[in-house]
Amino acid sequence: MSDSAVSEVDTLPETAEPARPRRDPAKLVRTAAWLALLVVLLALPLYLDAAWLKAGQYMMIGAVGAIGLTLVVGQAGQLSLAHAFFLLAGGTAYTVLSGPTGDDRVIGFGLDPGLSLLGAVAVAALLGLAFAPVAGRLRGIYLGVASLALVFLGLYFGQSAEELTGGTSTGRTPAPFSLFGFPFTNDGPQLALLGVPIRAAERMWYLFLLLTVIAFVIARGAAGGRVGRSWRAVRDNEAAAAVMGVSVLRAKAGAFAVSSAYGGLAGAMTVLWFDILKPDESEFGTYGINVSIAFLAMVIIGGLGSVPGALVGALIVNGLPQVLALYSADLGWFSGTGDGALTPVLVSSFVYGAAIILVVLFEPGGLAAIGRRITQRRFRRQPPEEP
Amino acid sequence: MKRTHLAAALAVVLTLAACSTKAGDSGSSGSDSSGVKTGKGVTATEVTLGVMTDKSGVFKNLGLGVTQGNELWAKDFNAAGGACGRQVKLEEVDHGYKADTAKTLYPQIEPKVLGFVQLLGSPVVAALKQNLATDKAVAAPASWSSELLDNPYVMIVGTTYDVEMIDGLAYLQEQGLIKDGDTIGHVYIDGEYGKNGLRGSQFYAKKHNLTVKEVKITSTDSDLTNVVTGLKGAGVKAIALTTTPAQTGSAVAANKALGLNVPVLGNNPTFDPALLKSPAAGALDKLTVVASSVPFSADLPKAKDVAAKYKAAYKETPNGGVPYGYAVGEVWGAVLKKACDNKDLTRDGIAAALKQTTSVSTDDLVAALDFSKPGTPATRQVYAATPDATAEGGVRYVKPLFEAPEAKEYVAPHQK
Amino acid sequence: MNTFLQLVVNGLGKGAVFALLALGFVIIFKATEVVNFAHGSLVLFGGYLVVVTRDALGWVGASLVGIVSAGVLGLLVERLLLSRSRHADANSLALLTIGVDVMVTEEIVRRLGVTLPFLGGAWDAKPFQLGGITLFRTHLVALGVAAVLITAFWLAFKYSNWGVAMRAQAENREAAALMGIRSSRVTATAWLVAGLLAGVAVLFIATQDFSGAGLSRGTHSIALAAFPAAILGGLDSTAGAVVGGLVVGLVEALSAQYVSFDFSKSAVFLVMLVVLVVRPSGLFGTRERTRV
């Protein structure tokens, strides 16, 4: 649930004070906090090595995908396990659109990478729209399992359509990203910020950061606006929503389209991160159901429907294994090699599995609800908000 | 309230400003006193080589074996004086057979090493292909697909899956088990590994007018009974496998259970000694494995030497990865020595030295290797072996190193 | 023709095991409306206990231990986790089972390491020929066991107190509670029974005949087939679960041969999707009606 939507509902005019909204200090602090975070993120490439930047970029991919998923699952109440499919679609679309035209093994359209990125998002959104009629007929868990089917089917087609994806055997390399001619690799103009050379890793960091910020702002806007309200109405009671004049089918279709667009963006970011598009395993690969489940975990942990929560969820689920792997290389943890050794991936899986259980047991609103409770206590002068 | 938050933000910014940025971190390069140019991963006393292996995932047994082979080689190489007066040090990281972990660990290890003596896992190799080319780091992937040969920095120690398959089919024909005009089945994993093996069988089939019934599977499929049922219906006279050991077990078991009982030919990764203890053990007699590196138990002097050193140093059950890891080390050793002779121990120097390596001997651990022709497998010779519970390492060879004439004619995908 | 018959036999044999899994799945759903994403981990847990006790107790003893422990795990999940959730919305509980699945599966896979223990009985890997068709004993035993268990379950469901209680609760929870039916007892037994069935299923899955592989992460993936099977049949229909299981087994075998092997996994889900589009609550499920 979105804070700003709630705030619009229960602000009553105060007789004693002039018409200054009560939440002013809280909102200002919150915005200041977000800005401070942004400043820190902008400055990080000056301090972190390429390996850590790489890990951070991976977390941002998770963030973009998770934001999309939390909108469709949390705001619109549609359980989707198909996110991995949209990642694959977006990654393939980006690679095909921006790929070289002359290659005889794979198809490419030679478009500008920036346009290809937009194209990838559009393609994914269209696929989401295409699935929406099916989604409209199904309820609850039936929808969840049906969406699982998309992942399997998507991978099957991805693996068969070798002219598009390069096949499972070799895959294909996506065009390196460039914006208005400025390449996001080590080539092009040699930039330096405060003496730190801005090369591929740093440039990709800034690119991903920009994409994440855009994704975040749009999502917050959608959740707080009319669209978000219609989604929540459909989620809470379809019949009542229909009675109130919300077109249920349109709302559901819109939710799917938006979330798949986000998935497509995350997919394009994924192939840029890996420097390769390769549709591999259906059960524990880059586009398999394990990925759909990971995104769902991010969304549950963060709090269904909460966009900031999705960010934190992504940090935990995508970030933890990377961070542990990097630390273990440095500190020599997890160096056991025998049967049953603990590994970063294993530990992270335990952590997020446990986190899901704890969240559902004790705080189904996820970290977002916990965060709200903490901020409420800080502002005890005002009456507590309805969660 | 506002003030404390602003204060906190300010504090963070100031701390960041106070920490030094990474400006000014430059690479290490230059030359040493005897005029040898040095670069990343080389100091006055040491040369560091990278090992990106699987110590915790699905291939950890193989990864462990190869790593131990690398370590045994490094010890011997250093004892014999090293290269340019420098000792070899191995920097090992574990990616757990996950491409995303490998991708993140790579920037951490890359600045510290001159090249890679081990890169395990085809998804890992695929993910890092671009990086290796950009960073010009020579790497020896534990993957034998000739598709990798379009990258001049990739050093495949041994022959590739397609050539293995050609040699193997030639062996079967020589033994009278198949003849021109027969139908054979080929079960392969969709991916770099399987597709490469298939390329070989397709080439051989064209030469000998064989019909190949191709069946594509994924690496997680475990039950091949339906597949073998279909092959039986097609009347195959032999089955070729480019699969995982577990799948090999299922295929040979089905081969026997369904009463098909045809010879089965597998690429080198299709067999693992653990199969001898599985329910499929009774069906393994029909399996022939082709590989360009010797089994652990081979009775060649060098193999025996490595085996003895292994048993003295490690307590785990050995597998074929050990002699292979040692052989890769030996090739690196030869390349390092050549680079030293050229007085160039930089990344470029190693790449150049590799190209000049026309014949490396690994004392028959692997066939003689020639890296001078980019895009071509370094050798086209293989051993043929069959599972044997009494042999250490689980296989004994039935035909020593050989090369079929068809293999000599075969043109690899990136061969110029 | 022989190939076709062989495939049908293979398919039905595997279908019987899928039916057992789907049945357990549906029992849980009927009692609690929760979709149990952790079903695969119940399977793995039972299998793991068999592996651990096999040397000490022999196959029969170990199998009993495995079956019972899978049941106990199901019971524990229900008692300790599901019933404790104060905010007991069924969808959230389903998500909770995802968390359980991740943890249990990872832990067991970690303990198994690279060993792939086969769990079959003495009948495994000893097929025999009958008129040109190979019959795998494991499949035959599985068919027999499944028939017995399903019949027993159906009888219990129709005539025993527990069966009546469960049907009453599935029909109308409040009314059933008012009639003195202890909801907690019904749900706990449902999870227990589902676990027991999963424990039986694993003895057939991790065999040479069925899957060609021992207990491993792959076993969990195979158990995933319970989903389309149960959904296809209708999540609240026990008959549907059995039909669904058999359909899944047949679709897998036939599509592997007549379309292509790698399509067979997707084929099962595709069939499920088609069925859902036509009948959104599955073949035999009750259609949800919203009253305004």
* Look-up of token digits 């991740």: C102
Average confidence score pLDDT of chain A = 83
**Which residues from A are below 8 Å from B160, CB to CB?**
none
Share of chain A above pLDDT 70, in %: 87
| C5's tokens | 């018959």
Q: What is the dihedral of CA A351, A356, A360, A365, to 10 degrees?
A: 100
* Cα end-to-end span (Å), chain B: 71
- Give pLDDT, residue B284: 92
C118, C124, C253 ranked by CB distance to B226: nearest: C253
Interface contact A344, partner B, CB < 8 A: yes
In a mutational test of the C interface, the residue from A85, A131, A142, A248 whose CB has the highest number of chain C CBs within 10 Å is A142
pLDDT digits (tens, 9 = 90+) for A268-294: 999 999 888 888 776 667 888 889 999
C124, C125, C260 ranked by CB distance to B216: nearest: C260
Residue C79: beta bridge partners? Answer: none
- Give pLDDT, residue B218: 76
- Give pLDDT, residue A10: 46
pLDDT digits (tens, 9 = 90+) for A24-34: 677 788 888 88
- Give pLDDT, residue B12: 62
- Give pLDDT, residue B190: 77
Q: How far apart are CA A221 and CA B43, in angstroms?
A: 55
Cross-chain Cβ contact B58/C136 below 8 Å: no
Q: How far apart are CA B389 and CA C127, in angstroms?
A: 24
Residue B186 sits at φ, ψ, to 5 deg, of -135, 115
**Letter string b/e over residues B167-195, b meaning 16 or more CB atoms within 10 A of that residue's CB:** bbbbbbbeeebbeeebbbbbbbbbbbbbb
C-alpha distances (whole Å) from B237 to each of A14, A34, A171, B286, B320 are 90, 69, 33, 12, 29
pLDDT digits (tens, 9 = 90+) for A329-376: 776 665 555 555 677 778 888 888 999 898 888 887 888 888 888 877
pLDDT digits (tens, 9 = 90+) for A93-124: 999 999 888 877 788 888 888 999 999 999 99
Q: How far apart are CA A357 and CA B52, in angstroms?
A: 35
Residue B366 sits at φ, ψ, to 5 deg, of -135, 155
Residue A5 predicted with pLDDT over 50: no
Q: How far apart are CA B89 and CA B43, in angstroms?
A: 11
- Give pLDDT, residue B211: 94
Q: How far apart are CA A206 and CA C279, in angstroms?
A: 48
Q: How far apart are CA B242 and CA B197, in angstroms?
A: 6
Asked if this assembly's ipTM is beyond 0.90, the reply is no
C-alpha distances (whole Å) from C267 to each of A86, C258, C270 are 20, 11, 5
- Give pLDDT, residue A236: 85
- Give pLDDT, residue A272: 92
How much is the average pLDDT of A223-252?
85
Per-residue pLDDT tens listing for chain B (416 residues)? 456 556 665 666 666 555 566 655 444 556 666 778 888 888 888 999 999 998 877 677 788 889 999 999 999 999 998 888 899 999 988 887 778 888 888 988 998 999 999 999 877 888 888 889 889 999 999 888 888 888 889 889 989 999 999 999 999 999 999 999 999 999 998 777 888 999 999 999 999 999 999 998 877 677 888 889 889 989 999 999 999 888 899 899 989 888 899 999 999 888 888 788 888 888 899 999 998 888 777 778 888 889 899 989 888 778 778 889 999 999 999 999 999 898 888 999 999 999 888 888 888 788 888 888 888 998 999 989 999 888 877 888 888 889 999 999 999 888 87
Indicate if the alpha-carbon torsion angle A23, A29, A31, A34 is positive or negative: negative
Q: Residue C94: CB partners within 8 Å, gap ≥ 6?
A: A141, A144, C34, C35, C36, C37
Contact status, residue C106 vs residue A354, Cβ threshold 8 Å: no
- Give pLDDT, residue A25: 74
pTM of the model: 0.85
Cross-chain Cβ contact C212/B250 below 8 Å: yes
Give pLDDT < 70 ranges for chain C: 86-88, 114, 288-292
Distance from CA of A248 to the nearest CA of B (A): 39
Contact status, residue A381 vs residue A5, Cβ threshold 8 Å: no
Indicate if the alpha-carbon torsion angle B210, B213, B216, B222 is positive or negative: negative
Cross-chain Cβ contact C209/B225 below 8 Å: yes
Q: Subunits with at least 3 CB pairs below 8 A relative to chain B?
A: A, C
Interface contact C101, partner A, CB < 8 A: yes
Q: How far apart are CA C170 and CA C286, in angstroms?
A: 12
Interface contact B219, partner A, CB < 8 A: yes
In a mutational test of the A interface, the residue from B22, B112, B150, B220 whose CB has the highest number of chain A CBs within 10 Å is B22
Q: How far apart are CA B411 and CA B160, in angstroms?
A: 12
Interface contact C231, partner A, CB < 8 A: yes
> Based on C-alpha coordinates, what's the Rg of chain B?
24
* Cα end-to-end span (Å), chain C: 55
pLDDT digits (tens, 9 = 90+) for A187-222: 778 888 777 888 888 889 999 999 999 999 999 999
Q: Which of A318, A304, A296, A314 is nearest to A368 (CA)?
A: A304
Q: Which of A95, A220, A115 is nearest to A161 (CA)?
A: A95
- Give pLDDT, residue A382: 52
- Give pLDDT, residue C44: 93
C107, C111, C276 ranked by CB distance to A146: nearest: C276
- Give pLDDT, residue B1: 47
DSSP result, B14-49: HHHHHS--STT-----EE-TTS-EE-TTB-SSEEEE
Interface contact C134, partner A, CB < 8 A: no
C-alpha distances (whole Å) from A262 to each of A34, A59, A62, A244, A321 are 21, 15, 10, 29, 23
Contact status, residue C115 vs residue C125, Cβ threshold 8 Å: no
- Give pLDDT, residue B3: 60
**Residue bearing the bigger pLDDT, A1 or B298:** B298
In a mutational test of the B interface, the residue from C54, C205, C208 whose CB has the highest number of chain B CBs within 10 Å is C208
